[in-house]
Amino acid sequence: MNGLICADRAMELAREYGIGMVGMRNSNHWMRGGAYVLEMARQGFAGIAATNSIAVMPAWGGKDHRIGTNPLIMAIAGESPVLVDCSMSQFSYGQLQNHVLADKELPVVGGYDNEGNLTKDPHIIWENKRVLPMGFWKGSSMSIVLDMMLTAITGGRSVPAITEDQDGEFGVSQFLIAIDLSKTIEKNQFAAEMQRIRDYVLASEPAESGEVSIAGSKIQAFIDKHEKAGGIEIHPDIWSQIQQLTQ
């Protein structure tokens, strides 16, 4: 709820000034942060948001947990909107759990085994929690500077404060930024430029394996598909845990 309220306020400010920013301190985990910037994109805005977390990832060159996954989220209007919800770890803990439940190897290395070797085995990483920063030292640095920015902008808690001063992940710091694109670019030019970017990227010569795609560009189709099906898929083990909460 905090995320939706602040997203609305950021858009309200952006309609007046061209850009609006709202910071939150002492907030809670906002679940899928992409929902808030996606709402901005649906209303014709570009949106940026970030949150810090408890320390759940080793800094580059370290072994114990000293930094958060601190997701950075961006979305931009279009037909359809493009959304990137990006944890600073190579795989979010949610995706890591999905691979554990499916007993499926990660497509690329996602962390370290107990001997310090890079591994694709999600079971090992899920147990030892030695997740790999996205882009190695780059993801580690992004996590740290995002925490600094979140703490400074909101006057709230940092990753060290959340980790050492509390008994759980709450009271986190977050910000949301909305940019009114109607004030930055003419409507027809915007549509043409966005299409050109898509077409240019998708015209790439495919590599030996895989296919060229724009991550997050099919988010609306994904949502529509699940709404038509009546909801999202939930792994039986997770559903069983949810049911136990109501007993």
User: Is residue 239 included in any domain, yes or no?
Assistant: no
pLDDT above 90: residue 161:
yes
Report pTM.
Answer: 0.88
Residue 80 near residue 94, CB atoms below 8 Å: no
Average pLDDT over residues 177-194: 97
Res 146: pLDDT = 98
Alpha-carbon distance of 111 to 138, in angstroms, equals 15
Q: Are 177 and 66 part of one and the same domain?
A: yes
What pLDDT is attached to residue 183?
97
Residues 79 and 95 occupy one common structural domain: no
Whether omega for the bond prior to residue 217 falls within 30 degrees of 0, making it cis, is no
Same domain, 62 and 120: no
Residue 9 has pLDDT above 80, yes or no: yes
* Chain mean position to CA 40: 15
Same domain, 33 and 19: yes
Average pLDDT over residues 22-34: 92
Structure token digits, residue 231: 């909801």
Torsion of CA 173, 19, 46, 135, to 10 degrees: -50
Residues 59 and 141 in one domain: yes
Q: What are the respective helix, strand and coil percentages of the chain, to the nearest 5?
A: 45, 20, 40
Residue 234 clears pLDDT 90, i.e. is over it: no
Task: Quick: pLDDT tens for 83-122.
Answer: 999 999 999 998 999 999 999 999 999 999 999 999 999 9
* Contact call for residues 83 and 37 (beta carbons, < 8 A): yes
| Residue whose structure tokens are 């920013």 | 21
Contact between residue 118 and residue 78 where contact means Cβ atoms under 8 Å apart: no
Confidence of residue 239 (pLDDT cuts 50, 70, 90): confident
Amino acid letter for position 80? S
Helices (H) and strands (E) in the chain, counts: 9, 9
The verdict on residue 209 lying in a domain is: yes
Same domain, 71 and 155: yes
Please say whether the beta carbons of 87 and 134 come within 8 A: yes
Boundaries of domain holding 48 = 2-88+136-230
**What is the per-residue pLDDT for 221?**
76
Q: Cα separation of 11 and 178, whole Å?
A: 5
Distance CA 33, CA 94 (A): 13
Q: Same domain, yes or no, for 222 and 142?
A: yes
The reply to whether 190 and 174 lie within a common domain is: yes
Span 163-175, pLDDT tens digits:
999 888 999 999 9
Check residue 218 and give its pLDDT: 75
Q: What is the pLDDT of residues 116-134, one digit of tens each?
A: 999 999 999 999 999 999 9
The answer to whether residue 242 scores a pLDDT higher than 90 is no
% of the chain residues with pLDDT over 90: 77
CA distance 50 to 185: 25
**What CATH number does residue 49 fall under?**
3.30.1370.60
Q: Count up the domains in the chain and report the number.
A: 2
Whether the predicted pLDDT of 193 surpasses 80: yes
